């Protein structure tokens, strides 16, 4: 149950460009291209609702600690809202608002019947025991019991969460409604209604959209080198699947640093190393540790895949990027101030709301399977997800050609147009 602490609006982030502002500046450009009327603009601009909760958790030392959690529902015009839950010490309400809006645009770009939402809890899961994380997750679920629901708002994993947390969430929600309710959350373990192909789905979508972009640019995957920032779920799968296509992954990184190997890193080996070293690459010897991890972004590679956090490509380093193609595995890795520099340099960007939408697409398949009570084969999941990714890529590419605009703005144009048209038919909700 949420505690009654009085909430104070956090000060805006000063360390980095505010992701909400980055999102809004692209939104504004796209709505102008579309000539969106004021009414629809105002409806789409602000989140539908923001819920702030304070969750008391008994820690292992017997003391109660109160955690602050958020759920922002940006929009439900296309359907129930969808989006992950982030556990991180840097979670910030403005960030969650931006991430929720990106979910709306992401679902619209791939044409799945969902609105957008995002959740977050300010916590450091790396310093918490499994029991503490379980109590936190169950407390958050209880606090959000009237927000979540298979037809209302469907959470999923994001940074710091995974199948384990989704299982607790599903169990706690099911208890509150008195019936097993698998479709309330996606990204569950396979044995309890998860979908085959969900774990690798985001990384796979990054690979599929990177291949589609390489084709347009006349790049041969076998002659392409890449750097992948972030070696969590998205980055490691993207690196593995790209390397299976012949791309030479020269650089990978995680919180422990960036690792370079001119001859290409053996990704299976790096993943195996990480799996037995608490999920980190510290001490990995298959590549050389770089002096400065940020140099990954400006290294001599053809393809750059930022798959870690927001705002890593900025006006300060964009000038030095050597890659011809950027495929955004993370949400919001490029600050809006870097866009003009990247465009000026003629770098193609497959933007986050397109490139990383493979995750939510297979989440949608999971939800459909839960509602059908019927499990799909892995081939069926992969074939359908790849088709959706390729169709979305072609639609965004055609829009960028039609208006002579970068792929990022084209993706917003496609998404906003879909939501705005639906709003016109539906009327307000």
- Residues marked as catalytic: 118
Is residue 84 at the binding interface for ligand GLU, with CB under 6 A as the rule?
yes
The DSSP H or E segment spanning 303 is strand 303-306
**Identity of the residue, 40 or 137, whose beta carbon is nearer to ligand GLU in the bound complex:** 137
**Identity of the residue, 219 or 362, whose beta carbon is nearer to ligand GLU in the bound complex:** 362
Q: Which stretch binds ligand GLU (CB under 6 A): 82-90, 220-228, 393-401, 412-420?
A: 82-90
Q: Which stretch binds ligand GLU (CB under 6 A): 81-89, 247-255, 269-277, 394-402?
A: 81-89
The residue count for binding ligand GLU (CB under 6 A) is: 11
Is residue 138 at the binding interface for ligand GLU, with CB under 6 A as the rule?
no
Q: Residue 320 has which token pair?
A: 């030095």
Residues 293 to 312 in contact with ligand GLU, rule: CB under 6 A: none
Among 247, 355, 360, 388, binds ligand GLU (CB under 6 A): 360
Name the closest residue to ligand GLU (Cβ). Answer: 84
Q: Interior CA angle at 341 toward 337 and 342, to 5°?
A: 105
3-state SS class at 259: strand
Residues 169 to 188 in contact with ligand GLU, rule: CB under 6 A: 186
- Least Å distance, CB 189 to ligand GLU, is 15
DSSP summary character for residue 209: H
DSSP string, 149-186: BTTTEEEEE-TT--HHHHHHHHHHHHHHHTS--GGG-S
Q: Which stretch binds ligand GLU (CB under 6 A): 119-127, 358-366, 389-397, 417-425?
A: 358-366
- Least Å distance, CB 286 to ligand GLU, is 29
**Identity of the residue, 358 or 406, whose beta carbon is nearer to ligand GLU in the bound complex:** 358
- Least Å distance, CB 355 to ligand GLU, is 10
Among 17, 68, 88, 158, binds ligand GLU (CB under 6 A): 158
Is residue 363 at the binding interface for ligand GLU, with CB under 6 A as the rule?
yes
Q: Residue 115 has which token pair?
A: 């609105």
3-state SS class at 223: helix
Among 22, 75, 253, 331, binds ligand GLU (CB under 6 A): 331
Q: Which stretch binds ligand GLU (CB under 6 A): 78-86, 170-178, 370-378, 391-399?
A: 78-86
For residue 113, with 0-12 CB atoms within 10 Å meaning exposed, 13-18 middle and 19 or more buried, which class applies?
middle
3-state SS class at 40: helix
**Identity of the residue, 82 or 248, whose beta carbon is nearer to ligand GLU in the bound complex:** 82
- Least Å distance, CB 38 to ligand GLU, is 30
CB atoms within 10 A of CB 60: 10
- Least Å distance, CB 103 to ligand GLU, is 6
Closest to 188 (Cα-Cα) out of 363, 329, 330: 363
- Least Å distance, CB 47 to ligand GLU, is 16
3-state SS class at 88: strand
329, 238 contact by CB (below 8 A): yes
Q: Which stretch binds ligand GLU (CB under 6 A): 58-66, 239-247, 356-364, 417-425?
A: 356-364
**Identity of the residue, 155 or 221, whose beta carbon is nearer to ligand GLU in the bound complex:** 155
Q: Which stretch binds ligand GLU (CB under 6 A): 34-42, 76-84, 215-223, 419-427?
A: 76-84
Find the DSSP H helices in 218-326: 233-244, 267-275
Q: To 10 degrees, the CA torsion angle through 163, 334, 77, 172? A: 20
Is residue 82 at the binding interface for ligand GLU, with CB under 6 A as the rule?
yes
CB atoms within 10 A of CB 275: 10
388, 110 contact by CB (below 8 A): yes
Rg (CA), the chain: 21
Is residue 200 at the binding interface for ligand GLU, with CB under 6 A as the rule?
no
3-state secondary structure 336-361: HHHHHHHHHCCCEEECHHHHCCHHHH
- Least Å distance, CB 360 to ligand GLU, is 4
Query: Which residues contact ligand GLU by CB under 6 A?
Result: 82-84, 156, 158, 186, 331, 356, 359-360, 363
């Amino acid at each position: 149950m949420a505690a009654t602490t009085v909430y104070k609006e956090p000060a805006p982030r000063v360390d980095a460009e505010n992701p909400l502002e980055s999102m809004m500046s692209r939104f504004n450009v796209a709505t102008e291209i579309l000539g969106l009327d004021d009414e629809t603009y105002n409806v789409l601009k602000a989140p539908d609702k923001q819920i702030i909760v304070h969750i008391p958790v008994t820690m292992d030392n017997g003391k109660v600690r109160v955690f602050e959690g958020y759920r922002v529902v940006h929009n439900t015009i296309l359907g129930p809202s969808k989006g992950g839950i982030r556990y991180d010490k840097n979670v910030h309400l403005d960030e969650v608002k931006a991430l929720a809006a990106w979910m709306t645009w992401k679902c619209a770009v791939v044409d799945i019947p969902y609105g957008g939402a995002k959740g977050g809890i300010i916590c450091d899961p790396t310093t918490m025991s499994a029991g503490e994380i379980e109590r936190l997750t169950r407390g958050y679920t209880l606090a959000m019991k009237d927000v979540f629901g298979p037809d209302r708002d469907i959470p999923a994993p994001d940074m710091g969460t995974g199948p384990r947390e989704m299982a607790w969430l599903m169990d706690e929600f099911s208890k509150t409604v008195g019936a097993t309710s698998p479709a309330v959350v996606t990204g569950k373990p396979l044995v309890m209604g998860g979908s085959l192909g969900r774990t690798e789905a985001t990384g796979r979508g990054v690979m599929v959209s990177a291949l589609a972009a390489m084709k347009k640019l006349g790049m041969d995957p076998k002659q392409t080198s890449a750097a992948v920032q972030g070696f969590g779920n998205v980055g490691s799968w993207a690196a593995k699947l790209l390397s299976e296509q012949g791309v030479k992954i020269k650089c990978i990184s995680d919180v422990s640093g960036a690792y370079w190997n001119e001859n290409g890193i053996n990704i299976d080996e790096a993943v195996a190393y990480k799996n037995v070293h608490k999920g980190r690459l510290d001490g990995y010897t298959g590549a050389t540790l770089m002096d400065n991890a940020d140099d990954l972004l400006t290294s001599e590679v053809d393809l750059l895949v930022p798959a870690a956090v927001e705002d890593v490509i900025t006006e300060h380093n964009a000038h030095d990027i050597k890659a011809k193609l950027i495929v955004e595995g993370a949400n919001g890795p490029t600050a809006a101030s870097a866009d003009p520099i990247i465009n000026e340099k003629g770098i193609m960007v497959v933007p986050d709301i397109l490139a990383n939408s493979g995750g939510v697409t297979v989440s949608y398949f999971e939800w459909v399977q839960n509602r059908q009570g019927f499990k799909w084969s892995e081939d069926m999941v992969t074939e359908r997800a790849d088709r959706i990714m390729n169709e979305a890529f072609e639609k965004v590419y055609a829009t960028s050609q039609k208006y002579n605009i970068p792929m990022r703005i084209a993706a917003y144009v496609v998404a906003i147009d879909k939501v705005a048209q639906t709003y016109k038919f539906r009327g307000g909700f």
